[in-house]
Amino acid sequence: MNPVADVVGASGLHVYAEIALVIFLIVFATIVTQVLIRRQSTFDHAARLPLEDDAISPTPVSGIPTTALHAPTRQP
């Protein structure tokens, strides 16, 4: 019914699947460790993004000035 299955089944390709799994885990572990050793302060700009998006920043925090001609919307 499926000759490909016979060929692949006999070819010992499963080794590649195991290698792929190991590579996958190494890449993942690398990202995790690299993120962990970064200084928190490098993310300060990014972390504040949601808080700046509809308010006028008196002093441009990011170097990219954002302003609104009208007050954004009435608050509750």
Partner 1 sequence: MTATAGAPSSITPATPATALESFSYDDDIVREFLVATFVWGLVGMLVGLLIAFQMVEPGLNLAPWLSFGRLRPLHTNAVIFAFAGNAFFTGAYYSTQRLCKTRMFSDGLSRFHFWGWQAIIVAAAITLPLGYTQAKEYAELEWPIDIAIAIVWVAFAVNFFGTLKRRRERHLYVAIWFYIASIITVAVLHIFNNLSIPAGPFKSYSMYAGVQDAFMQWWYGHNAVAFFLTTPFLGLMYYFMPKAAERPVYSYKLSILHFWSLVFLYIWAGPHHLHYTALPEWASTLGMIFSVMLWMPSWGGMINGLLTLRGAWHKVVDDPVLKFFVVAVTAYGMSTFEGPMLSVKSVNALAHYTDWVIAHVHTGTLGWNGFMTFGMVYWLLPRLFQAPLYSKKLAEVHFWIASFGILLYVIAIYSAGVTQGLMWRAFDETGRLTYPDFIETVVKLLPMYWTRAIGGSLYIVGMFLFGWNILMTWRRRPATYDVPVVQAAPLFRESNEPEPGAHPQPAGAWARFVSMGWHRVWEGRWLVFSVWVLVAVAVASLFEIIPTFLIRSNVPTIASVKPYTPLELAGRDIYIREGCFNCHSQMIRPFRWETERFGEYSKPGESVYDHPFLWGSRRIGPDLAREAGKYPDLWHVRHMEDPRSITAKSIMPPYAQLLTNDLDFNSIQKRVDVMAMLGVPYGDAVVEGNAPKMARAQAALLGDSIAQQGGPKGLENKEIVALVAYLQRLGRDATQIPSSVAAKPAAGGSQP
**Site for partner 1, rule CB under 8 A:** 1-2, 4-6, 8-9, 13-14, 17, 20-21, 24, 27-28, 31-32, 34-40, 42-51, 53-54, 60, 62-76
Task: Quote the CA–CA distance of 74 and 53 in Å, as a whole number.
Answer: 15
**For the stretch 43-75, what's the b/e string if a residue is b when 16 or more beta carbons lie within 10 angstroms of its beta carbon?**
eeeeeeeeeeeeeeeeeeeeeeeeeeeeeeeee
CB of 39 to partner 1, least distance (A): 8
User: Least CB distance from residue 11 to partner 1, whole Å?
Assistant: 9
CB of 58 to partner 1, least distance (A): 13
